[in-house]
Structure 1
Amino acid sequence: MKTNNRRDFLKKSIMGLSGTALLASGTSLDASGKAIENTPATLPTRPLGKTGIHTPLISMGASGVTSPGLVKAAYESGVKLFFSANYYGRGNNEIVVGEGLKGLPRDSFLVGTAAIPDDMNKGAGTLMSGFTVEKYMKTAEASLKRFGLETIDFVLLPFASKKETIQNEAVLKTFEQLKKQGKVKYVGIASHGGTVEALNAAAETGVYDVAMIGYNYKTQNLEELNTAIHRAAKAGMGIVAMKTTAGAARSKSGPSINTDAALKWVLQNENISSIVSGMTSVELVQKNLKMIQNLKMTEQELKELGMTSENGLGLYCQQCQQCVPQCPHHLDIPTIMRSYMYAYGYKNLEQAWHTLAEVDLSNNPCHLCDVCNVNCASRFDVRNKVMDIARLKDVPIDLLSV
């Protein structure tokens, strides 16, 4: 697609998605429907599906957060929804978030986590034979303990891409029991790839309340994905977006993209309730909160996004899985590319290390190939990227956790 065509496509997408004005700004609601205190009256909010919650357009994704003080500062700035995952920092990230929110009125914030089962193949998005309700219950309960909370507002099944997994009876039973026991208020999925299938499958069950999905201006199957988002929203699911800056940089060592423009573009879709943004400084929190005050996009911003997308620049992997069967060594390339993005885009080496550790790169088989057979949909030089990021596996994790 030529640059002008891509820019026109982005513009038309915005026009088609933004037919309804933003909901009136004002007081947010917590999971019980009570008013969230201290939310600035000027901070725009949107409803989160059928939950009855209204959340600010920016929420905190805590993957790169290492200081409880930053969580507290984000809260005091108006952020009310905080997402972690039990695999961020081997669970330590949930502790950081819990410490940051400790002592605050429980009805003044919302917290969620992506709880991956021990018996799950992340790359394939499938459950292994050892998965049981009892084991997954313990996984979720461990997150509660790390947060220091009696109840979590949201628990998400991460790496959700397959209908068979999302509609698995044991998964649904686990979520039903967590709700019944009052340990979790709402359940959902988190999807990095295969998102259309994931959203459709989740909406069919009538069980899932929310979905966290990868969504940005570089999304290649945008029309199909928007249809699935609309269908899920119509079914009552709240949709929150992650990976919204498509890796944040144009290349490994190149300049950053216009992140304000990238985030604005996402929020033109009125079915997106909130962006879960990885905010690692108070300055970034304030920058994002300022951005949501005016979502109107300029022609220059559209031009920048259109040119960036057309040129194939960026660090964002579509997680389409098309590369895996092309590789003679059957490397889990999508996971390796996520590690590359964490390292060079988000500057989060610890998360990059843990992500890379999920893949068997003991002998870095790319050295055995003179020519890479993989034809990447995003036009990545896969072999060079794999060989580059593979160096990280030899770095002791304690050096990255300092």
Structure 2
Amino acid sequence: TFIRSEEIYKAFLDAKAAGKVGHWGLSTHKNAKKILEAAIETGWYDLAMIGITPAGWYDWTTNDLEEGTPPLVDLQSLLNRARDAGIGLIGMKAVRYLAPVTSKGKGDPSAFDKVYDENFKTSPLNPYQRSIAYVLEHGLDVVNSDMQNFKHLEENIIAAATSHTYFG
């Protein structure tokens, strides 16, 4: 696979030695578990941008959760292994599943409520903020989020800044 390609990695190392790049990362819209495991095994990667939600892995090609995915809380071992391997984790698609169907979502803002405890479900955060806060407190270092206006930016900042207050 490309993830384990020594030829591509050598090209990165050459570019790094020439001062053209500083870090080696990957992004995937499907098969995140398999790709993250390969990245961990190589020991080469600095970051990974993965499709993940509170309910588990997200597959952009189907615009749905990966079939049979465990919830995010059950992925902690893999995420911790990635972090131990020096890989920073960027979550993408954390709220896509909640978005309207016209935005390739499912149009169900309560879709992740099944993985939240009652205290978190009744927090003042809206469904999108809850998703961001949850993934940040369950193994992700940062979330890549589509923002259409300053209200979205403000909501995302609040979710990130307060996420730690909901989980002990």
Tell me, yes or no, whether TM beats 0.5: yes
Q: Which runs of 5+ in 1 are unaligned?
A: 1-163, 299-402
Secondary structure in 2 matching 1:196: helix
Q: CA deviation at 1:182?
A: 1.0
2:97, 2:107 within 8 Å by CA — same for their partners in 1?
no
Q: Which amino acid aligns with 2:135?
A: V
Give, in whole Å, the separation in 2 of the partners of 1:198 and 1:240.
Answer: 14
Bigger Cα Rg: 1
Match of 1:286 in 2: 154
Indicate the RMSD between aligned Cα atoms, in angstroms. 2.4
**1:267-292 deviation per Cα after TM superposition (whole angstroms, max 9, x unaligned):** 121x3111111122222111211222
The yes-or-no answer on 1:265 pairing with 2:102 is no
Shift of 1:250: 5.5
Give the deviation of 1:200 after TM superposition.
1.4
Deviation at 1:297, TM superposition (A): 4.3
How many residues align? The count is 134
Secondary structure class of the residue paired with 1:182: coil
Q: Does 1:214 align with 2:83?
A: no
1:125-204 matches, cutoff 5 A? 164-204=1-41
Alpha-carbon distance in structure 1 between the residues aligned to 2:131 and 2:147 = 15
Over 3 Å counting, the alpha-carbon distance change for 1:217 and 1:250 in structure 2 is farther
- The residue type equivalent to 1:188 in the other structure is G
Distance in 2 (CA, whole Å) between partners of 1:245 and 1:233 is 23
**What are the residue-to-residue correspondences of 1:48-87 with 2, within 5 Å?**
none
Distance 1:244 1:207 in 2: 25
SS at match of 2:24: strand
Q: Would the aligned equivalents of 1:166 and 1:201 in 2 still touch at CA under 8 Å?
A: yes
Q: Is the counterpart of residue 237 in structure 1 residue 70 in structure 2?
A: no
Larger RCO of the pair (alpha carbons < 8 Å, separation 6+): 2
1:191–1:227 Cα change, 3 Å: farther
CA change 1:265–1:224 in 2 (3 A) is closer
Change (3 A) 1:191 1:255: closer
SS at match of 2:161: coil
Where 2:97 maps in the other structure, the secondary structure is coil
> For residue 376 of structure 1, what is the aligned residue in structure 2?
none
The percent identity for this pair of structures is 28
What is the rounded CA distance, in whole Å, between the counterparts of 2:92 and 2:77 in structure 1? 18
**C-alpha contact (below 8 Å) 1:218/1:246 kept by paired residues:** no
Question: What are the superposed Cα offsets for residues 85-111 of structure 1, whole Å, 9 maximum, x if unpaired?
Answer: xxxxxxxxxxxxxxxxxxxxxxxxxxx
| Counterpart secondary structure, 1:247 | helix
Contact 1:196 1:225 in 2 (8 A): no
Match of 1:275 in 2: 143
Q: Distance in 2 between matches of 1:255 and 1:165?
A: 35
Instruction: Give the TM-score of the pair, scaled to structure 1.
Output: 0.31
Contact 2:98 2:107 in 1 (8 A): no
C-alpha deviation, 1:176, in angstroms: 1.0
